[in-house]
Amino acid sequence: MPHIHTAPGQHDITVSAYIVRLDAQQSRCLVHMHKKLGKLMQAGGHVELSETPWAAIVHELREETGYTVDNLHILQPTAKPVQVHNAVIHPVPVLFNTHKISDDHYHTDLCYAFTTTNDPTEKIGDGESDDLRWCTLAELRQLRDSGVALADSVGIYEAILEQFLPVFHSVEARLYSTDEPNDAGHLQ
């Protein structure tokens, strides 16, 4: 999706999916070759005006990786989702950052960390990069050092593997809904 905000100094909200495969001796991280940037990076994209960040990550996962929330777990600070009356609860990103895209445009990115031991069940969307790679952290660092992988993507994968994975809970991603709140009330 193109940038929503195009005036100088404006920010688009984006979402990123950092997926870690845990079924081998070494954890492996999923990256894809971004068609416009020509660099390996995590999956993700813009949050459209008509969707929540969680709905955006669900559709970006499917389009760019073939994964659905049924195939994934998400790292969360608590073992089960919090329940709140009159609201749909979304998972907590492991990181929330703002970065410069050009001299006068920014992305504020919600970074979600997922784990899996499964292959994706869907096909990658039409027009999406089909250059997906599972890399160990050492391989990602080499790709970063050679200029093939985005340094920020590698740094966030480092934080996920070294800091978040050991202390966060792995929760079924399908427990979180993309539905709109079904109660007409407001939060009290």
CATH code where residue 114 lies: 3.90.79.10
Considering the domain boundaries, does residue 161 fall inside one?
yes
Considering the domain boundaries, does residue 184 fall inside one?
no
pLDDT in the model for residue 80 = 84
pLDDT in the model for residue 95 = 95
How far apart, in Å, are the Cα atoms of 104 and each of 4, 9, 37?
A: 14, 5, 18
Considering the domain boundaries, does residue 115 fall inside one?
yes
DSSP secondary structure, 32-75, as one string? EE-TTT-SEE-EEEEPPTTS-HHHHHHHHHHHHH---GGG-EEE
Cα-trace Rg, the chain? 17
Considering the domain boundaries, does residue 1 fall inside one?
no
Q: Which residue range is the domain that position 30 belongs to?
A: 13-175
Considering the domain boundaries, does residue 126 fall inside one?
yes
Query: How many other C-beta atoms can be found within 10 angstroms of the C-beta atom of residue 110?
Result: 22
Considering the domain boundaries, does residue 4 fall inside one?
no
3-state secondary structure of 155: helix
How many domains is the chain partitioned into structurally? 1
DSSP conformational letter for 147: T
Torsion-angle region of residue 168: left (phi > 0), alpha (psi -120 to 50) or beta?
beta
Does the pTM surpass 0.85? The reply is yes
Considering the domain boundaries, does residue 8 fall inside one?
no
Considering the domain boundaries, does residue 44 fall inside one?
yes
Collect the ranges in the chain with pLDDT lower than 70: 1-11, 102, 183-188
